[in-house]
Structure 1
């Protein structure tokens, strides 16, 4: 039994070593993203250990068997060498995902899921941008290599004494008993303890203050728990159908008294133009355009990544799951958004994105959404090397000028959307403009200034076209940038963006609105403004509505804003209530003192979630004609 006990000790040492590695990863993750978290306490680390043990148990359950299965075969040197390499390789693979999230978390605001790292359309980004990432964040791969070498050096070898013992029936029974006991311990680790249900991602909120769940979690756990899951969407059945529709019904039926106004419509989605980047001297043109527009001061994105912004803005479908809609199993669900609405009204429709075709699966979604034409890097007709950033696509200045030319050539009226790219990582500046714009305090500010100047040139050229005065322009950021600080780090500030409506021919469409306005409100607001009669499924509301809500989702928390209050809901219960206008840093939790407000808000968000999930699961994002 000496050799068997040696392997038992070896297995225990190896699992303990991996556990220590997870603690190192958590400490480094927190240090690397320190500005994104507040009020971190020991409870987050203590809870995190439970999630670490769960991930380790899942990954290593097979190695418990391979280390302890009765029989003399496992004492052979070649077997032990292969077992060591396999244990090292498998665990290192999962540990690597933690290193990826050291930086990626800044952009997504949550630990990566299986769907996020395997998102369709994203493989093009990875191949195209990997060289830039390696250059910019060179210290991460070097740190990981050093980490890998230390881990290999710290792993013990099997201490086998030859000749191997000949097992008696009693010893064999004892070994089987120890194996079974070890497997039971592994399964307890995997489940996350003795609770009625296995540990879930959402349980992280029980160990952390609001916004700090990512510290409790580890990336291997979130990948494993979302692997093979159908986007994690379930029908919660909070209410029966009749009661559900009374609280929230996304079906909007417009019936204006006058014929539709046949204006052209141009939507400009600005990469990373979060609220934290405007009014600071980096966006002089956008700041000036705001003074001539209907500007929503309390504007919000409905997602944290670019791929979320398109369905939110064009189809009024928010991002309320861990995987982006465009790359999810629901990406081919029928939607009835602005492209189909305007096509029905006789408009020509088009979508422009200066990145290489296939980027973020936008071209595929545009087909589903009903756009007639898609223009990416491949459709850019000018062979000017200076217009290409060498990594991502066509610089904003050149692509916006091309956009303006194409708009002039289109049949009128037209509906067109353009998504800018230059203020996206790796933040490449054209050679001719290097040093021309303020560097600012973060690496995005220079490219924000460049894109703002490109917008100025676009509007200067558009103003000379005959279609300009008969056009409604809508500008929105796709999401906030990864460099927000202070009040832009919490679950309200992480979504604050500028949204504005500009109509050169209507001086009355002007002013600063204090309403809570979100990307999914753009579709119904356009229908309202242009007096278009139609029946649509919209999870937002028109700007003329008395309703004043915003709904977002991040890190397994549903964020519901109504009037001055913000409610954090974890899918089962409310975990925080704040007056976000008086308390922008969300320090004073009112859940116990404002119970009536919390109860009313919780009733709404439950209905909203149920309506969204049911319609997504059942492919009911359109109103079928009877």
Structure 2
């Protein structure tokens, strides 16, 4: 039995070493992103150990079996060498995902999931951006290499030679029993304990708060937990169909009393132009335009990544799941999007994105959404302006956009997604030193895009179509870091500028306090143009008396109604805050204001039921 015990101890020592590395990864995650976390407690790290044990146990259960399976074959030097190398390679690959998220978390606000790392259409973007990330965040790569080297050196090796012993039947039975017991212990770790249900991603909040749950979790755990989910959404039945309609109904009927005003429509989606980047000296043009527009002071993104912004803005469909709608199994669902509706009104429709064709799957989604034309890097015509990494610089691509608009037959509907304020934040050499650096790494490129936007409007003003056009400007999401504590909360991380600008209608110039989100843009455009339509929209028109915003992040639903913000996870409300008075979300009102918590929870449950069931049943359109 001594050989068996030696092998068992060998596995245990290797297992403990890997768990220790996970703890080191958590400390690095915290140290590098120190400014993104507050209200830290020891429970974050004790809870993190629970999730580390679960992930490491899940990954290494095959190696446990390989170490303990009865038989003398496992004592051969060749077998032990293969076992050692495969253990090292597999575990190092998962450890690498922790290192990647040390940086990637800044951009997504959540630990990576299986869907995020396997999203169709994203692989080329990742390959192009890897060199930039390695250059910018070289220290993370070095730390990973050092970790891999030290891990190999410290990884316990099998003592050799091991002299096999003749085994009798009793030996085989005993070893089989010990193997089963060991597997049971490991399965208990995978479950996270003896509680009724295995631990889930959302349980990370039990050991911290909404803001620190990503620190409790580890990336291998979130990847493994989402890797084998067959359904991206599950049907829910909180309410009967009749009751649901009285709580929340996404069917919007726009019945204008006036004839349709077929103005041109231009939707500009600005990369990473979160609230933290405006009114701070970096965006003088956008700041001035805000004073001439219908500006929604309380604007919200419906996601934390660029790929979420397009279906939200164009189709009024949020991504209320861990996968983006564009890359989900529901991407081909029938929808009634802006280009489809406006095309029936005689509009020419087009979408522009200066990145490589295929980036973010935007070209494919544009086909589904009904755009007539897609213009990417391959369609660009103009002076050389490739940024060397991502696509065409915003200045030149916005001028190309302006020229194409002039060539289109009116009325037209067109949207453009800018790219220069995307990591690695490259600006043309001729403008180095021209723009203020700002307080964060992104802000120099924000200032450059603002400059490019000014030049676009300067060109557009010269054209006949300009005064007959409604311009809609929104950010896709916030940037990776804010400048104030309020920017880092689960409200602040989604606040973006949204504005409607009609040069021919100065009376439309309003600073609107309404809670307004990207999914409100589509019904608001139709309502403003007096276009009759019956649509499925999870947003609402700017004319509506409703005052809500709903978004989702890492298994948690976030709902804002009037001055209150509610967080809902694991089928229960976990937080209620007056987000306008309590900007740092420090005072949870669940116990002190139960009627308001119940009111918001009832609305949110109806919203979730309507969204999930309609998406699953492909009921996003009446056609």
How high is the TM-score relative to the length of structure 2? 0.99
- CA displacement, residues 324-358 of structure 1 (integer Å, 9 cap, x when unaligned): 11111111111111010110111000000000100
- CA displacement, residues 396-448 of structure 1 (integer Å, 9 cap, x when unaligned): 01000010000000010000000000000000010111110001111211111
Matched with 2:248 is 248
Matched with 1:397 is 395
Matched with 1:607 is 606
Q: Which moved more, 1:137-146 or 1:487-496?
A: 137-146
Shift of 1:163: 3.0
Shift of 1:231: 5.4
SS in 2 for 1:508: helix
1:427 to 393, 410, 425: 425
- CA displacement, residues 264-294 of structure 1 (integer Å, 9 cap, x when unaligned): 0000000000000000111000000001001
- CA displacement, residues 112-144 of structure 1 (integer Å, 9 cap, x when unaligned): 000001111111111211111111111111111
Shift of 1:168: 2.2
Unaligned residue ranges in structure 2 (runs of 5+): none
**What is the rounded CA distance, in whole Å, between the counterparts of 2:239 and 2:567 in structure 1?**
20
**What is the rounded CA distance, in whole Å, between the counterparts of 2:57 and 2:481 in structure 1?**
35
For these two proteins, the number of residue pairs brought into alignment is: 622
Matched with 1:489 is 488
SS in 1 for 2:474: strand
Q: How does 1:114-513 map to 2 (within 5 A)?
A: 114-160=114-160, 162-230=162-230, 232-382=232-382, 384-385=383-384, 387-484=385-482, 485-513=484-512
SS in 1 for 2:339: helix
SS in 1 for 2:55: helix
**What is the rounded CA distance, in whole Å, between the counterparts of 1:149 and 1:605 in structure 2?**
49
Matched with 2:584 is 585
SS in 2 for 1:588: coil
Q: Which moved more, 1:366-375 or 1:440-449?
A: 440-449
Computed over aligned residues only, the root mean square deviation of the Cα atoms, in angstroms, reads 1.0
- CA displacement, residues 139-162 of structure 1 (integer Å, 9 cap, x when unaligned): 111111110010111111113564
**What is the rounded CA distance, in whole Å, between the counterparts of 1:230 and 1:321 in structure 2?**
13
Q: Which moved more, 1:551-560 or 1:459-468?
A: 551-560
**What is the rounded CA distance, in whole Å, between the counterparts of 2:460 and 2:156 in structure 1?**
69
Change (3 A) 1:162 1:24: closer
**What is the rounded CA distance, in whole Å, between the counterparts of 2:163 and 2:504 in structure 1?**
93
Q: Which moved more, 1:432-441 or 1:43-52?
A: 43-52
Shift of 1:513: 0.6
Shift of 1:295: 0.4
SS in 1 for 2:352: strand
Q: Is the 8 A contact 1:226 1:232 kept in 2?
A: no
Q: Is the 8 A contact 2:77 2:161 kept in 1?
A: no
- CA displacement, residues 461-486 of structure 1 (integer Å, 9 cap, x when unaligned): 10010000000000000000001141
Q: Is the 8 A contact 1:567 1:574 kept in 2?
A: yes
**What is the rounded CA distance, in whole Å, between the counterparts of 1:237 and 1:606 in structure 2?**
9
Change (3 A) 1:418 1:231: farther
SS in 2 for 1:514: strand
**What is the rounded CA distance, in whole Å, between the counterparts of 2:113 and 2:19 in structure 1?**
21
**What is the rounded CA distance, in whole Å, between the counterparts of 1:266 and 1:517 in structure 2?**
19
SS in 1 for 2:507: coil
Q: Is the 8 A contact 1:279 1:287 kept in 2?
A: yes
- CA displacement, residues 533-559 of structure 1 (integer Å, 9 cap, x when unaligned): 011110011101110000011122111
SS in 2 for 1:517: strand
Unaligned residue ranges in structure 1 (runs of 5+): none
SS in 2 for 1:403: helix
- CA displacement, residues 312-334 of structure 1 (integer Å, 9 cap, x when unaligned): 00100112111111111111111
Q: How does 1:555-566 map to 2 (within 5 A)?
A: 555-566=554-565
- CA displacement, residues 207-245 of structure 1 (integer Å, 9 cap, x when unaligned): 211221101111000000100324531112111111111
Change (3 A) 1:266 1:80: same
Q: Is the 8 A contact 2:107 2:304 kept in 1?
A: yes
Work out whether 1:77 is the aligned partner of 2:77. yes
How high is the TM-score relative to the length of structure 1? 0.98
Q: Which moved more, 1:547-556 or 1:467-476?
A: 547-556
Matched with 2:533 is 534
**What is the rounded CA distance, in whole Å, between the counterparts of 1:474 and 1:196 in structure 2?**
50
Q: Is the 8 A contact 1:116 1:323 kept in 2?
A: yes
**What is the rounded CA distance, in whole Å, between the counterparts of 2:406 and 2:228 in structure 1?**
47
**What is the rounded CA distance, in whole Å, between the counterparts of 1:422 and 1:242 in structure 2?**
48
SS in 2 for 1:587: coil
